[in-house]
Copies of this chain bind each other. A is one copy, B any other.
Amino acid sequence: MATISIGDVARRTGLAVSAIRYYETMGLVRPGRSASGRREFERSDIRRLSFVMIAQRLGFSIAEIRAALATLPDGRTPTKRDWERLSRAFRRALDTRIEGLARLRDLLDGCIGCGCLSLDQCALHNSGDSAASLGSGPRYLLGDDPEP
């Protein structure tokens, strides 16, 4: 089976070459190397990188994605079943995230009426579940932290 150059992987995935190299340093892909040091990707790496792109769009951090990918089998090429398992896990996390946002939205509804923003009693201000901290920096989403 022929290997794929980084440029071809970039063209096929739509990722920038620099991004793919970055993902390698982050441990999201582990291409082989040719005698002269060039990266040699497999077909399954394209799927892997696509998964990375999708997961990113879903709001997951690289650390989280790496953790998810780490559950793929080590020796062999992942099967469709493997990818299904991963997708299902992300689907669950996504559900939780959506629920968290919906909960915050409902709290916001309450606050719109009460005008209580800033008050100690404000449910939204004080709801301890940092449900939607989707900002930058480590995003501890709904309790599913990346590894510490």
Q: How many copies does the complex hold?
A: 2
Which of A16-24, A26-34, A69-77, A100-108 faces chain B?
A100-108
B105 touches A56 (CB 8 A): no
B112 touches A91 (CB 8 A): yes
A67 within 8 A of B: no
Q: Is the interface of A mostly helix, strand, loop or mixed?
A: helix
A94 to chain B: which residues have CB within 8 Å? Answer: 101, 104-105, 108
Query: How close is A42's CB to chain B, nearest CB, in angstroms?
Result: 12
A95 within 8 A of B: yes
A117 touches B59 (CB 8 A): no
A88 within 8 A of B: yes
